[in-house]
């Protein structure tokens, strides 16, 4: 029997807990400082933007569900210190009561925290980040306030873009600020983001790209955002410039430069028997062939499962990830996996791209939309490094094939005559995947 302690019970932690609880005979203690677990942050914009009826469906587990399976669950209890030599975790509950909990195996799933820049006025009221359920609830309340007529969203990554859409859907003026020249620059190349930027503009969002926020002004509550280009009156701001690994507890463990705990393919840290999973940990990128930091719920769940099996004595190596992701804004869908051309060149690859744009279905079909596909590949090895797709169609499943291709080291040439079915309801006989691959130099 092993004493397994798990710190953090959101996506990575819940996946780890459920996996551990599938093994008989272990003693699992779960610790989380929040009062809820398994909150799907990906639903925040849908809830705040009234695309779904409420937040209730955004939780898929609970402390009681884990207790029902045999775990000891300590909610609103913070892990304060880990003693790796003594193999103990010291925790403190909200009443200040402390306890020292011994472990044989430890899984750290403490996640990430929003990056909050040290700008003048950042502490003013009505400046909100969106991470926890409580943050979503506060953003929702602020948008209920009739005095809030306009909101600045800072950062046009996927969370900022989704929240700008939500603000606009609530009938408020949405101003989206981004230091880069376009939205979603970390995931997609300009050929695709140009379309997304048009959709955002057409949807009524004011785009302030190439504009860096320098200050917030106000008396108690925020009343203006100041950038290097101008000053804009607002009643609310949403901070969405990114997340950093929560490294409060992990001093002493090997880490990436941003503080993410470095793990091997078994999710084990530099300390034996201690695992790190989800947003607080590094992850192996098959696209770049290096340790990376890719904070996604999907990676959190998979890494939680891997760590739990290893902690329970079943050796299981992670296959690594491609960073597959998607976004849907005003009905325009974008999905990507692996590296964009920009990211591949930055990572030192001699990257080439092949692009194809066509209708999803034959011209005689009704309800048809254009699809854009870009495949990124390495000029030397011809290995597929990434793919990006965009359309009003639901093209989401197509990207998974590219994810597998990257994981398997498949070359662009292998995709040229790949057997892809044709049925007018779904696609064309000259499929855009085939056509893009055939167009590769």
Ligand X SMILES: Cc1cc2nc3c(=O)[nH]c(=O)nc-3n(C[C@H](O)[C@H](O)[C@H](O)COP(=O)(O)OP(=O)(O)OC[C@H]3O[C@@H](n4cnc5c(N)ncnc54)[C@H](O)[C@@H]3O)c2cc1C
Contact track, ligand X, 259-288, x by CB under 6 A: -------------------xx---------
**Closer by beta carbon to ligand X, 218 or else 386:** 386
Q: Does 374 bind ligand X (CB under 6 A)?
A: no
- Specify whether 11 is catalytic: yes
**Closer by beta carbon to ligand X, 87 or else 383:** 87
Q: Does 49 bind ligand X (CB under 6 A)?
A: no
Q: Does 109 bind ligand X (CB under 6 A)?
A: yes
Contact track, ligand X, 215-254, x by CB under 6 A: -------------------------------x-xx-----
Q: Which of 11, 208, 309, 312 is catalytic?
A: 11
Q: Does 396 bind ligand X (CB under 6 A)?
A: no
Segment lying near ligand X (by CB under 6 A), choices 18-26, 104-112, 358-366, 376-384: 104-112
Q: Does 159 bind ligand X (CB under 6 A)?
A: yes
**Closer by beta carbon to ligand X, 298 or else 394:** 298
Inter-residue contact 333 to 393 (CB < 8 Å): yes
Q: What is the largest CA-CA distance in the chain?
A: 71
Residue spans of beta strands (DSSP E) within 68-169: 72-74, 77-83, 88-93, 98-102, 105-108, 112-114, 127-129, 150-154
Among 65, 82, 127, 130, binds ligand X (CB under 6 A): 130
Among 6, 12, 236, 395, binds ligand X (CB under 6 A): 12
Smallest separation, CB 21 to ligand X (Å) = 17
Q: Does 211 bind ligand X (CB under 6 A)?
A: no
Q: How many helices and strands in the chain, by DSSP H and E? A: 11, 25
Size of the site for ligand X (CB under 6 A): 33
Which residue has tokens 């030192």? 348
Smallest separation, CB 31 to ligand X (Å) = 5
Segment lying near ligand X (by CB under 6 A), choices 9-17, 59-67, 174-182, 254-262: 9-17
Sequential DSSP letters for 242-284: -EEE--TT-TTS-B-TTSPBP--TTSB-SSTTEEE-GGGB-EE
- Specify whether 280 is catalytic: no
The pair of three-digit structure tokens given for residue 2, joined into one six-digit string:
């092993």
Distances (CA, A) of 271 to 82, 155, 182, 262: 12, 36, 41, 10
CB atoms within 10 A of CB 319: 12
Long-range Cβ contacts of 343-351 (<8 Å, 24+ apart): 343/186, 343/288, 343/386, 344/287, 344/376, 344/378, 344/385, 344/386, 347/288, 347/290, 349/378, 349/385, 350/378, 350/379, 350/380, 351/376, 351/377, 351/378, 351/379, 351/385
Q: Does 7 bind ligand X (CB under 6 A)?
A: yes
Q: Does 81 bind ligand X (CB under 6 A)?
A: no
Q: Does 13 bind ligand X (CB under 6 A)?
A: yes
Tell me how far apart the alpha carbons of residues 76 and 93 are, in angstroms, rounded to a whole number: 6
Give the residue numbers annotated as catalytic, written as ranges: 11, 42
Residues near ligand X (CB under 6 A) are 7-13, 31-34, 41-42, 44, 78-79, 109-112, 130-131, 159, 246, 248-249, 278-279, 295-298, 300
């Amino acid at each position: 029997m092993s004493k397994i302690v798990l710190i953090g019970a959101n996506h990575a932690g819940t996946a780890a807990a459920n996996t551990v609880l599938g093994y008989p005979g272990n003693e699992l203690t779960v610790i989380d400082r929040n009062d809820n677990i398994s909150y799907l942050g990906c639903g925040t914009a849908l809830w705040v933007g009234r695309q779904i009826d409420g937040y209730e469906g955004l939780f898929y587990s609970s402390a009681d569900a884990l207790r029902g399976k045999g775990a000891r669950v300590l909610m609103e209890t913070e892990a304060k210190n880990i003693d790796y030599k003594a193999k103990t975790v010291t925790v403190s509950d909200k009443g200040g009561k402390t306890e020292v909990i011994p472990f044989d195996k430890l899984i750290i799933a403490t996640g990430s925290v929003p990056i909050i820049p040290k700008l003048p006025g950042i502490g003013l009221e009505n400046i909100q980040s969106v991470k926890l359920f409580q943050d979503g609830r506060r953003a929702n309340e602020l948008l209920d306030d009739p005095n809030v007529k306009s909101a600045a969203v800072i950062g046009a990554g996927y969370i900022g873009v989704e929240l700008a859409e939500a603000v606009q859907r609530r009938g408020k003026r949405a101003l989206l600020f981004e230091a880069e020249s376009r939205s979603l620059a970390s995931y997609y190349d300009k050929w695709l983001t140009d379309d997304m930027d048009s959709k955002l503009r057409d949807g009524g969002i004011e785009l302030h790209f190439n504009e860096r926020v320098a200050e917030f002004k106000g008396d108690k509550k925020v009343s203006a955002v100041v950038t290097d280009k101008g000053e804009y009156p607002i009643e609310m701001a949403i901070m969405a410039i990114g997340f950093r690994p929560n490294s409060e507890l992990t001093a002493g463990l090997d880490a990436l430069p941003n503080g993410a705990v470095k793990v091997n393919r078994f999710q084990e840290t530099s300390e034996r028997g201690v695992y790190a999973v989800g947003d607080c940990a590094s992850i192996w990128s098959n696209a770049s062939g290096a340790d990376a930091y890719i904070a996604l719920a999907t990676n959190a769940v998979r890494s939680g499962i891997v760590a739990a099996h290893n902690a329970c004595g079943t050796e299981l190596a992670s296959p690594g990830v491609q960073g597959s992701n998607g976004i849907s804004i005003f009905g325009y869908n974008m999905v990507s996996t692996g590296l964009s051309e920009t990211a591949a060149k930055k990572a030192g690859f001699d990257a080439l791209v092949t692009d194809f744009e066509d209708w999803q279905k034959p011209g005689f079909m009704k309800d048809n939309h254009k699809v854009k596909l870009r495949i990124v590949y390495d000029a030397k090895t011809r290995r597929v490094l990434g793919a990006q797709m965009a359309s009003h169609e639901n093209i989401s499943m197509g990207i998974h094939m590219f994810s597998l291709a990257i994981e398997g080291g498949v070359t662009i040439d292998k995709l040229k005559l790949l057997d892809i079915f044709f049925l007018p309801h779904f696609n064309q006989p000259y499929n855009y995947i085939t056509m893009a691959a055939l167009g590769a130099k």
